[in-house]
Structure 1
């Protein structure tokens, strides 16, 4: 039995590795990246997912948060852009719903799914809020990935 962020013990904790190994997650990240590329948006693929997961995890660990909370931040960050496979518009809300189904199938507890969904659903700066430490870590991780390899559109007047 493992302790969750609520102090409740659960039989199985879904890990970032479980999420990364899931074929549905892999397909969603690949398609979301393909679709954002088709409309000229920055790279949103596995490089971005892996980097944001690492940054979100490290942010909470270095601030002294619980290990499980840092793990949930990594999971949320890894999944935060999957909603782009449906549309850029409200992709954060779509992504939260998609993530819920995946994480439920993988066996994640409802309280933990709610934390991840809140973080994903609030990661856009235009109308999202850092609703939890996990959410704040996802926002910081996402917005700090400014690597030039993300740029796919050479015209600076049309950057997203």
Structure 2
């Protein structure tokens, strides 16, 4: 948040995505939302007894897992500052420039700092729906990214004249909420409240595709509502 370099990248991500491509928000607000949602999902899984990959693979402890999720989620879209195409790759290149400098302030052990760096870079790379997430932390980051699809995020491109199915379906989403689901089975429940059926496109084509390659799909259930009334329950 205080790094002018990071904020410059996030600012340029919106220049590229919103102003030049008429996409929805990919800047600082989106980054904060995704980071908050990701941490919330991680806490649900921790309280339900699931072990983060960072802990399971002896890279670090639960606090390190929280750091990986927070930083991976906050930085996942910075590659848009270069170009939308392959932004998950250019995001890794940008983050690799400054993450070692930041993590050296947090870890006395350079070996551990480098390992944590790669975990964060993995979150950035695998947030794309076509890249399989290989850690719980990366999967959480990916799903949290898909959760930020409520109408407010689509208003800017819509006002600039974008009327395709992506903009219109996003405008149909009233509210998205992450709640506790069924313990030990599908502990994460994502509730999506829509104005109309157009919102299903967002659920299936955006959120659903990310869940499928998240490596935590078996832990996530999506409940779609239409104006507050039950519409469909989905697993991906």
Judge same fold: TM > 0.5, yes or no.
yes
Q: C-alpha separation between the residues in 2 aligned to 1:81 and 1:52?
A: 10
Partner SS, residue 10 of structure 2: helix
Name the CA distance, whole Å, in 2 between partners of 1:60 and 1:158: 28
8 Å contact 1:61–1:67 — kept in the other structure?
Answer: no
TM-score by length of 1: 0.82
Larger Rg: 2
Query: What does the per-residue CA deviation read over 1:46-99, in whole Å, with 9 as the maximum and x for residues that have no partner?
Result: 110001011111111221141320221011010000000111111001101211
Alignment partner of 1:49 is 2:3: no
Aligned length: 140
Structure 1 regions of 5+ residues with no counterpart?
1-19
Distance 1:149 1:90 in 2: 25
Q: 1:140: which partner in 2?
A: 143
Structure 2 portions without partners, runs of 5+ = 47-51, 53-61, 105-112, 168-205, 207-236
SS at match of 1:32: helix
Of 115, 132, 152 in structure 2, the residue corresponding to residue 149 of structure 1 is: 152
Instruction: Point out which structure has higher relative CO (alpha carbons under 8 A, 6+ apart).
Output: 1
Contact 1:96 1:117 in 2 (8 A): yes
Higher mean Cα deviation, 109-118 or 63-72? 63-72
- 1:17-66 per-residue CA deviation (whole Å, 9 max, x = no partner) reads xxx21110011001111110121111111110001011111111221141
Distance 1:42 1:121 in 2: 20
RMSD of aligned Cα (Å): 1.6
**Higher helix proportion (structure 1 or 2):** 1
Give deviations 1:82-119, integer Å, cap 9, x for gaps. Answer: 00011111100110121121111223411001001111
Against the structure 1 CA distance between its residues 30 and 111, is the aligned structure 2 distance closer, same or farther, given a 3 Å change threshold? same
> What is the TM-score normalised by the length of structure 2?
0.56
